[in-house]
Amino acid sequence: MTCNLARTVKKSLPKKAPLGVWGKKSKKIMNQIFNITRFSRLAMYDARTNYKKYLIAVAIGFVGIFLLTYFLFTVSTDTENVFALEDRLIRDNFQISGYPSVTVFWLCLLFVFPILLMLSFPALSGKKSTMNYLLLPASVFEKYLLEFFIRIIVALGLFLFIFYLMANLATIIYESHLNIRFADIVERHQHSIYVERFAVVFSDIVDTSPSDGTTADMQEFIPLKSMLIVGWLVMYLCMFSVRTFFNRFAFAKTLAVIIGAQILIVNLIIELEERFEIIPDPVTLQFAWTVNAIFISIAVICLILGYYNLKRKRI
């Protein structure tokens, strides 16, 4: 009887699942979150649906960057006073600054690219388009990842490629225009006019060495530059993720939130600096790493909140 009772108790105990079952369950869960085949189909669907918008955006980028760069070159170079231009060319060894192309670069990064990010998730702007978007046979993570890939990675890489081509093309054409228009000056001095290329000017700007070359200034300049770059990237990521919180008038609302957050952070830093003097003088690398860690934490939190906000949307 004791043996029968032991067998009964043993049978009633829950059986341990074999390791293979746990592996299948985890694989199933991972497959529900991300599947490369499903993700590729979603990407192809997005390309078929929005290819006209993408092509128009690329065409506007090509034409807009070229025209704006060429226009700034013509504005920055006074070609009406021939004698003043000749004196300037002699003084500068027949070299004209390429800073207009760098100005266009910063204008695009600071104003045009944020517009692209704040227009992310366009399907969420309307009730019907939102319903169709949510019914797509893909996980929320795949939809979020695809939009991140298109709006940030592909868009930024494509912008850098287009800008490099068009800025250099505008520079070369403007240089040729000057050499043809002022051929008599070029012939008289036996020296052609040269306009600085974008890469040369930009490398001088991002150079980590300060202008006077002192070690103390360089030690302060590197941390400041790292904080600016990280803060700039974090702002982009926050723009992208905050967009998922709004449906109607998402662009204006996202812009208002980003501007409000920037004003709040700046005021908070000023208040803390006045009370506790948190910013060292000079700025140290350790302080920069601390600030960058805070920036990155903010970006990660915004991306996670954006994902879960997209996940909680219902039809």
Amino acid, res. 144: Y
**305 pLDDT higher than 90:** yes
Give 145-199 pLDDT, tens digit per residue: 999 999 999 999 999 999 999 999 999 999 998 888 888 888 888 888 888 888 7
> What percent of the chain has a predicted confidence (pLDDT) above 90?
27
Q: DSSP alpha helices (H): ranges in the chain?
A: 2-12, 19-33, 36-76, 82-91, 99-107, 113-118, 127-134, 140-148, 155-181, 183-189, 198-206, 215-242, 250-276, 285-311
What's the mean pLDDT in 78-104? 80
C-alpha separations of 169 from 59, 69, 200, 273 in Å:
15, 9, 15, 46
Taking the CA atoms of 43, 44, 48 and 51 in sequence, report the sign of the dihedral they define: positive
Whether this prediction's pTM lies above 0.85 is answered by no
Per-residue exposure over 168-185, b if at least 16 CB sit within 10 Å of its own CB, e if not = bebbeebbebbbeebeeb
pLDDT at position 170: 93
Count Cα atoms within 13 angstroms, Cβ side, for 139: 17
pLDDT at position 276: 60
C-alpha separations of 147 from 7, 60, 165, 216 in Å:
58, 21, 26, 43
Give 16-48 pLDDT, tens digit per residue: 545 455 667 777 778 888 899 999 999 999 999
pLDDT at position 6: 47
pLDDT at position 267: 81
pLDDT at position 278: 65
C-alpha separations of 216 from 144, 271, 279, 290, 306 in Å:
44, 27, 17, 20, 41
Listed in sequence order, the residues at least 6 apart from 220 whose beta carbon sits closer than 8 Å to its beta carbon are 282, 283
Give 198-254 pLDDT, tens digit per residue: 877 777 666 545 555 555 555 566 777 888 888 888 888 988 998 888 887 888 888
**272 pLDDT higher than 50:** yes
pLDDT at position 219: 57
**Cβ(3)–Cβ(110) under 8 Å?**
no
Confidence of residue 60 (pLDDT cuts 50, 70, 90): very high
Write the DSSP string, 53-75.
HHHHHHHHHHHHHHHHHHHHHHH
